[in-house]
Amino acid sequence: MLFDLFKATVLGIVEGLTEFLPVSSTGHLLLMEHFFGFDDDEFGKAFVVLIQLGAILALLSIYFVRLWNIALALPSDPEARRFVIGVLIAFLPAAVIGALAYGIIKGVLFNVWIVCTMLIIGGFVLLWIDRLDLKARHHDATKFPLPMYLGIGLIQCISMIPGVSRAGATIVGAMLFGADRRSAAEFSFWLAMPTMAGAFVYEVYKSRADLSGAKPLIVAVGFITSFIAGWIVVKTFLDYVSRHGFGVFAWWRIVVGALGLIGLALVK
């Protein structure tokens, strides 16, 4: 039981830390399941689905006041309505493709070889975007042009390949469309709200048969640690990338992906 609680704690921390960073939470969880054996009945679909809720609630708790103010402003403020429409436009491509291609994504793309390869490729993409001499034209995530929201949403769909990273794809897309680092990273938070919530609800529906077998204490530990780790990341990430860029996350991806490929080759 103690070891189960230890595994729940580790997986919760990994989920919370990586969900909002451009390093791929799904990729990290799949690698941990593969290499450390965290894939038994205690830590199957139900556990992974339920601890995601901790990370979602961490984000919503930090943005609650801003969300509430936007909701109150919707009837009278065209800018508030425009931003909500923009987020929904950005969310729509992933919602449609995710629902239509769910079987292919889960059955084919959830492969540790693909995860490691995408981690490495994504790392080099982050290094590339960090070194580009981009002229930022947009500095407020709530005021991007509507076509830009759609473009970011389309690029986010690439993150359905495990190892790409939803946050990473969103940030890179926003920066290529003219956002500065901070507003690009912040929009990844805004877009995470409907994307993660929608994915959570869909996963709960698809995995409903497995949820009854989840052990409450183990899920609670994973949920709490996911919430705490996610809260810390959301509170610190924007300031960090504004000052230091994405280099540390890029090299982390490259190292983890390379070690993963080496490990897969050795145990083949």
pLDDT tens digits along 60-76: 999 999 999 999 999 99
Looking at the predicted structure, is the pLDDT value of residue 181 above 60?
yes
Higher local confidence (pLDDT), 184 or 47:
184
User: Which runs of consecutive H residues, i.e. helices, occur in 22-111?
Assistant: 25-36, 45-62, 64-73, 78-100, 102-104
- Residue 231 pLDDT exceeds 70: yes
Residue 202 is encoded by which pair of tokens?
């869909």
- For all residues of the chain together, what is the average pLDDT? 90
pLDDT value, residue 217? 83
Look at residues 14, 38, 36 and name the one whose alpha carbon lies nearest to residue 27.
Answer: 14
Q: What does the alpha-carbon distance between residue 250 and residue 182 come to, in Å, rounded to a whole number?
A: 17
User: pLDDT > 90: what percent of the chain?
Assistant: 67
Token look-up 């990586």 returns 18
Using alpha carbons, select from 130, 232, 145 the residue that is nearest to residue 181.
Answer: 130
Q: What pLDDT is stored for residue 39 in this prediction?
A: 58
pTM for this structure? 0.91
The answer to whether the CB of 251 falls within 8 A of the CB of 21 is no
Residues 6 or more apart whose CB falls under 8 angstroms from that of 43 comprise 7, 8, 11, 33, 218
As for how many domains the chain has, the answer is: 1
What are the pLDDT digits (tens) for 58-114?
999 999 999 999 999 999 999 999 999 999 999 999 999 988 887 888 777 889 999
Confidence at residue 43, expressed as pLDDT on a 0 to 100 scale:
53
- Cα 181 from Cα 171, distance rounded (Å): 8
Read off the pLDDT band of 42 (50, 70, 90): very low
> Under 8 Å CB-to-CB from 78, ≥6 apart: which residues?
none
* HSE, side-chain direction, 13 A CA sphere, residue 92: 11
Residue 103: CB atoms within 10 A of its CB come to 9
φ/ψ bin of 21: left (φ > 0), alpha (ψ from -120 to 50), beta (otherwise): beta
Q: Is 41 helix (H, G, I), strand (E, B) or coil?
A: helix
Interacting residues of 16 by C-beta distance below 8 A, sequence separation 6+: 54, 55, 58, 225, 226, 227, 228, 229, 230, 231, 232, 233
Angle made by CA atoms 89, 60, 227, in degrees to the nearest 5: 125
Tokens of 221: 């530990």
Q: How far apart are CA 18 and CA 28, in angstroms?
A: 8
Contact 117, 257 (CB under 8 A): yes
Question: The domain containing residue 204 runs over which residues?
Answer: 2-266
Least confident of 11-25, 80-94, 204-218, 250-264: 204-218
For tokens 């995530």, what's the residue? 141
Is the Cβ–Cβ distance between 173 and 188 less than 8 Å?
no
How does pLDDT run across 192-230, given as a tens digit for each residue?
999 888 888 887 777 666 666 557 788 889 889 999 999
Cα Dmax for the chain: 62
In the prediction, which pLDDT does 212 show? Answer: 60
